Structures are given as C-alpha cells and as structure tokens.
C-alpha cells in the first residue's frame, strides 16, 4: 500500500514527490489508510512515538526512520492534590517542543524520497525541529523565519547546521518568501502547515495519552492553536483510535489562541468564516498566526468534538508562566498562554470530575 495525498478541494489523489507541495485546487490531506493498535506488542516496545508503528505511514521494510528518541513524554498531574488535571510534558522533547513528533515523520519521508535539501518556514519551533532532524538525516536545511524570532531558537537552528533566512515583516511574509523560493529553486518544502506527513507525527500525542491513561481518554484536551499542527494531529490520532475500536468517543478539543491574534476564535464565537486578522502583538509568538491555512479544518475538528476555541489575555501570560515555573514546569510564553486561557476557562466550564489534559509544549529554555 502506498501512502498518498488527496486534494482537500476535489479529492484527486497524488503520489508524494520531492517538489509538489500543493495540489491543483486546495491543500494536501493524507488519504486515510488502515491503522492498527496491537496493544500487547506495543507495550513491549521502547517508549518513543515509533512504538505505534502499525499506525504510522511507513512500510516496515522501507522505513528510513529518522529518530532522536522523540515521544514517550510524561503525563503528570498539574497539582499533586488533583488527579483530574493532567499535563503532557512535550517540552521535554529532543529539541524542546512537540514539533519533533511531526518533524521525525516528515524528514523520514523526505529521506525516503531521496531528498538532499529542504526549505521550511517557521515562527521558531518547527524550524528548530526540522533543522535537527535534517542534521540527523544528513539533509541540508534552509529555514525562513520572521526577523523578530527569538535569538535562542535561531542559535539552536544554526547549531544544527541550518542556513537561516530572516524575513522582514509578518509571519505571513515569511511564508510567502519561503513558497517563492521553493517554487523558484524546486526544493522540497518541509512545511509543517502544508505537508500532511507532519500531522501523521503529531497524532502520536493522542496515542500516548490513550496508553498513559490506561487505554482511556480525557474529557477535554487543552491545546495551543496557531497553524493547528498539534490540534489536527490530536484529532487524527483520536479518530484513528475511534475507527479502530480502541475508544468509543472523542475528547473535546479546546484550542487556545492569543487574544491579540485570534482569527479562529473570532470566527468560532461570531459564527462566521475565518478572516485574516492583524497581529496586534503577543508574547505567544508560536501561536501568532493571522491567517491559518488549515483554519477551516481546525474549526471542523473542534466542532466535531463539541470543543471550543478560547483566548489568552496578554497581561496574564507572564503571570501564568511564573505560576507554572513555581510548580516546576519551565515553559515558553506560548505554552504559558495555553495555561492562562485554561485557568479562566476552567472556572466557568469544567466540573471538578472532568478529566483534562493540557499540553505543555515548548521549553522555557527557548525564550
């Protein structure tokens, strides 16, 4: 069986290749394929995301698995006296963010295709992850970033050997510059937004939670949302579990945006289509996406699960970060924004019995 892409607009199928990053009409999604969860076998494997290999898009015999030991992150109570609010520590990944899940699958696929050079654009964490997995795979990486990207993320990318291109203007300007170069130079576009193999990696977040909760699922998941790679990955992952009969329902997906850059939250609450917004400035650089390419897919996933999109107030992000640090969790502002929004949401929307998992997805050492 080959793992193929389909055009979101007309369902036409495409075989992934080195240069095509977009179909004729819409964007690429992965064509659903058969997944399995042999629990006894999985339980005997090492604690990385590759333990779910029957649910990943690789043929065993052809798998060029590029790995830095990603996945298998702890799931802990946020507070020792409340077993119902859990945090998933994806900031403990090899490069310090959940993006390693997606990069591991995407760069393994690039390697399978024989790619020698890739280009990616990022607000920081995805670029860092792509740079690291490219280093591991012996692939040259060019990373386009907004000029105000934090110095520590840039230093990390450089250390992995990436060639950095700082682009003036907004995050969207960076994406435009990246796509132009990809087209001109006919490069492999290692995009966490456009390439659906990235979501095939982030979906392992869902599998791990299911296994760590003793094959149960939470009632609600609280996740940061910029381009939605974690939220969409989680959605696909829980769908995989549901369709395989491993679970009987989906958890509610609750996405968090920064109040100062919240195109999906606005559309969700005003019950209208997503319109691009202007980013009026936020510490949460990782979710400052003014015009998300997969915005309507994110909305659909949230609505299908009965979830919601909530926002973090700017003046609450630093305090939330301090509070998490005081509990021992040192995270970056984007992750603190998730917690800031969750605290307000919890008061009005959650019963004491509700089981919740919140993602702590980016390390404080990055900013």
Ligand X SMILES: N[C@@H](CCOP(=O)(O)O)C(=O)O
Q: Which residues bind ligand X (CB under 6 A)?
A: 97, 124-125, 224-230, 286-287, 289, 334, 361-362
| Residue 145 vs 246, nearer CB to ligand X | 145
Shortest separation between residue 103's beta carbon and ligand X, angstroms: 12
Shortest separation between residue 332's beta carbon and ligand X, angstroms: 7
Shortest separation between residue 290's beta carbon and ligand X, angstroms: 12
Cα–Cα distance measured from residue 208 to residue 219, given in angstroms and rounded to the nearest whole number: 15
| Residue 143 vs 230, nearer CB to ligand X | 230
| Residue 247 vs 336, nearer CB to ligand X | 336
Shortest separation between residue 212's beta carbon and ligand X, angstroms: 21
| Residue 87 vs 247, nearer CB to ligand X | 87
Least Cα distance to 118 among 221, 225, 9, 192 occurs for 192
DSSP structure string for 215-228: S---SEEEEE-SS-
Shortest separation between residue 362's beta carbon and ligand X, angstroms: 4
For residue 13, CA distances in Å to 20, 23, 109, 127, 360 come to: 13, 9, 18, 28, 36
Shortest separation between residue 125's beta carbon and ligand X, angstroms: 3
Residue 3 structure tokens: 């793992």
Cα–Cα distance measured from residue 256 to residue 99, given in angstroms and rounded to the nearest whole number: 17
- Which value, to the nearest 10 degrees, does the dihedral of the CA atoms of residues 262, 263, 265, 269 take? 130
Pairing of strands 82-88, 308-312: unpaired
| Residue 187 vs 289, nearer CB to ligand X | 289
For residue 327, CA distances in Å to 105, 338, 346 come to: 32, 16, 18
| Residue 49 vs 287, nearer CB to ligand X | 287
Cα–Cα distance measured from residue 197 to residue 5, given in angstroms and rounded to the nearest whole number: 9
């Amino acid at each position: 069986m080959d793992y193929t892409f389909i055009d979101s607009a007309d369902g036409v199928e495409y075989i992934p290749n080195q240069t095509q990053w977009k179909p004729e009409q819409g964007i690429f999604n992965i064509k659903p394929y058969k997944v399995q969860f042999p629990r006894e076998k999985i339980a005997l494997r090492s604690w990385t995301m590759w333990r779910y290999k029957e649910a990943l898009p690789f043929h065993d015999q052809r798998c060029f698995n590029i790995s830095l030991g990603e996945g298998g992150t702890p799931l802990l109570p946020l507070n020792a006296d409340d077993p119902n609010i859990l945090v998933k520590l994806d900031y403990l990944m090899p490069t310090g963010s959940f993006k390693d899940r997606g990069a591991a699958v995407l760069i393994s696929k690039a390697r399978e295709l024989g790619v020698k050079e890739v280009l990616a654009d990022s607000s920081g964490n995805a670029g860092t992850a792509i740079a690291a997995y490219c280093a591991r795979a012996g692939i040259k990486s060019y990373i386009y970033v907004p000029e105000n990207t934090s110095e520590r993320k840039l230093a990390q990318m450089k250390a992995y050997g990436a060639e950095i291109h700082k682009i003036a203007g907004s995050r969207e300007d960076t994406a435009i510059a990246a796509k132009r170069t990809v087209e001109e130079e006919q490069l492999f576009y290692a995009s966490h937004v456009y390439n659906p193999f990235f979501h095939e990696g982030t979906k392992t977040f869902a599998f791990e939670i299911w296994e760590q909760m003793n094959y149960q699922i939470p009632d609600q998941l609280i996740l940061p949302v910029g381009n939605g790679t974690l939220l969409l990955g989680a959605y696909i992952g829980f769908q995989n579990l549901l369709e395989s009969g491993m679970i009987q329902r989906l958890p509610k997906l609750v996405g968090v945006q920064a109040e100062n850059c919240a195109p999906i939250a606005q559309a969700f609450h005003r019950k209208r289509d997503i319109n691009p917004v202007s980013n009026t400035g936020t510490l949460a650089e990782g979710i400052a996406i003014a015009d998300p390419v997969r915005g309507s897919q994110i909305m659909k996933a949230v609505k299908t699960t009965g979830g919601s999109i909530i926002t973090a107030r700017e003046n609450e992000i630093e305090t939330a970060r301090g509070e998490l640090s005081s509990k021992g969790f040192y995270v970056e502002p984007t992750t603190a924004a998730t917690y800031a929004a969750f605290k307000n949401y919890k008061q009005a929307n959650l019963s004491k019995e509700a089981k919740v998992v919140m993602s702590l997805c980016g390390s404080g050492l990055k900013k």
